[in-house]
Structure 1
């Protein structure tokens, strides 16, 4: 627990994304064979496909999973903070297949020359099943309305507390990024 909180503060995820670090770790495994180790550098090529995500979920509870980049377009100039890569609500008992995709997954796409970006996974416990019908759903072929978002404000709006679990990695530009940009143009 102290390690998670220490690393979230060390990388300034607290306070850039959340006011308080989670206490539990999310495990994230990518189809490329990469398993996320907190704070490790990965390439956009390694994380291009939707991962399998698990945490210590309780049966009968609903959760929200978010993946955000607070460093868009760069850590020095985060004018699009936060850029949302993935948002899934109403995840029942931790079963991602029973969740409602609000923002479809896209991997890392840090622009060339912008250095390392932080990619943060957060899980929140929902107070109950939530009606997300007013939330604009974003497919994985659209970059529209992903930027200038705040997971903290979103979760406050739906009366969730702080994140219960989290993890993150760092990534910088590689030759997959132009392919992702082409995909996001629809």
Structure 2
């Protein structure tokens, strides 16, 4: 069956709207489609409490996750300072992410410590907020963005966790420039009342 040019155009418009305009009410645009997409900057290592070492994009069961901050290692760290930002771009639900991005953590890390791996004694600008069972609706990406700078920054503490824009924060408040490394893991939250 041959599809006319008109139907092809309509199909393209519908697909575009589903991908890019799904939630026009969200104030912060989702510019991080997949933090594992650019392989050259995914060399950050994340060990999640209760789970262990993760690969970028790995799916994790919510019930396995502990409450402690992840251990972060960056094999390309040098004698500089780093800022790590962890967010959930799918809050409050992946279909309607009204709280995009939910801020889970901002931490300042010295380069030599980052080479060995963090131990929980780093300076948290915003205390770690682990993934929550309340984020029950659909697939959630938990993304990490690592920025490098020459000196320890004077941080502005965000006024709220919801609708936090990591790019704007890094550029406007910290002048951090480009992301040095990034990572994500995924939790598929089941809707309330669904078991198994």
RMSD (CA atoms)? 2.9
The match for 2:26 is none
**Contact 1:88–1:101 (CA under 8 A) maintained in structure 2:** yes
TM-score by length of 2: 0.67
CA deviations 1:73-104 (Å, max 9, x no partner) are: 11221111100111102x11152457420111
Q: CA deviation at 1:18?
A: 9.0
1:74 to 82, 93, 100: 93
The match for 1:54 is 73
The match for 2:50 is 32
Q: CA deviation at 1:44?
A: 2.3
Change in 2 beyond 3 A, CA 1:112/1:60: closer
- 5+ long unaligned stretches in structure 2: 1-19, 21-28, 191-196
Q: State how many pairs are aligned.
A: 154
The match for 2:167 is 152
- 5+ long unaligned stretches in structure 1: 1-11, 137-143, 175-186
- Is 1:167 the counterpart of 2:183? The answer is yes
Q: CA deviation at 1:159?
A: 0.9
TM-score by length of 1: 0.70
CA distance in 1, matches of 2:77, 2:131: 29
Q: CA deviation at 1:129?
A: 1.5
- Is 1:130 the counterpart of 2:153? The answer is yes
